[in-house]
Amino acid sequence: MALSGQLPLVSLPPQMQAELRMSGLAGHWGACNRCGLCQRRRHMIWGAGSLRAPIMIVNSTTSGYDNQNGTPLAGPGGELVAHILTRLGLNPARDCYVTNLVKCLCPKKSEEDGTLRRRLPTHDEVEVCKVAVEEQIKIIDPCILILYGQQASRYLLGDPRPLAKFAGHWRTYGKRCVALSAYGPNGLMMGDDSVSKQATYFNLWLETAEKLNLLGRMWRPDAQLFQDGWAFNPPAPIGQLGVSAC
């Protein structure tokens, strides 16, 4: 029941409803100390992008770049994603919401030199933190969910297999969302074969844009990109993407 003097949430426009729900959720998680990862983080990575975006990206872990900058998908991987989206006529800020499954860096002290390295989060750390991302997915209500890294698929789709067994596969998530399991872009940009891996990655986004054109028009006709008249036009084949490897 609405309190006296307040509008019931359902009478507000969808954008405003989403903003209110997300700010309430972000406030609830605030300076979270639900697990020990709060002790060494520089930033907790909440999320970035449009709350009405038809595409939502969930990274499994918080990278060192994210922790340093305070934003998800920071660093060369994020640059690659933004570059590809732009090439497809999409706008990263308008058409994607990005967040992390585990919102704080998982550091591990090296036994060799004492420096801090990154490790995978434990089962308990993911279980406690994934509650936030599940609520974020309900608010964003995407038609396409991109899950980067094994743990995002393990904990959101319930698939315990190694990522190599299902990377590139699409599955349903709920009643009106499809989810793609994929390797995170930062990993793709390492090594001598990064250029050929970037081309493969571009093709995954091409497939995503086709699906967005079909499913997004059915499930998210309110999304700003459709209001702006975006339609899928296959771009010319790529040569070099022009994003430097890390």
Report, in Å, the least distance between residue 57 CB and ligand SF4.
18
Q: Is 37 in the site for ligand SF4 (CB under 6 A)?
A: yes
In the bound state with ligand SF4, the residue whose beta carbon lies nearer, of 128 and 167, is 128
Q: Least CB distance from residue 131 to ligand SF4, whole Å?
A: 8
Measure the CA angle with vertex 243, ends 239 and 245; round to 5°.
110
Q: Which stretch binds ligand SF4 (CB under 6 A): 29-37, 162-170, 204-212, 220-228?
A: 29-37
- Residue closer to ligand SF4 (CB basis): 37 or 143: 37
CB of 44 to ligand SF4, least distance (A): 5
* DSSP structure class, residue 122: P
Beta-carbon count within 10 A of 39 CB: 9
Q: Which residues contact 227 (CB under 8 A, 6 or more apart)?
A: none
- Single out the segment in contact with ligand SF4 by CB under 6 A; choices: 33-41, 48-56, 142-150, 235-243: 33-41
Q: Both ends of the chain: CA-CA distance in Å? A: 53
Q: Which two tokens stand for residue 218?
A: 């059915």
Can residue 35 be called a binding residue for ligand SF4 (CB under 6 A)?
Answer: yes
Within a 10 A sphere around the Cβ of 204, how many other Cβ atoms? 16
Q: Which is nearer to ligand SF4, 32 or 82 (CB)?
A: 32
Contact flags string 135-164 toward ligand SF4, x per CB under 6 A: ------------------------------
Nearest-10 Cα torsion for 51, 150, 215, 204: 110
Which position among 55, 85, 88, 129 is part of the footprint of ligand SF4 (CB under 6 A)? 129
The DSSP result for 20-85, as a single string, is: HHHHHHHHHHTT--SSGGGGT-S-----EE-TT-SEEEEESS--HHHHHHSSTT-SHHHHHHHHHH
Please report, as ranges, the residues that interact with ligand SF4 according to CB under 6 A. 32-35, 37-38, 44, 102-104, 125, 128-129
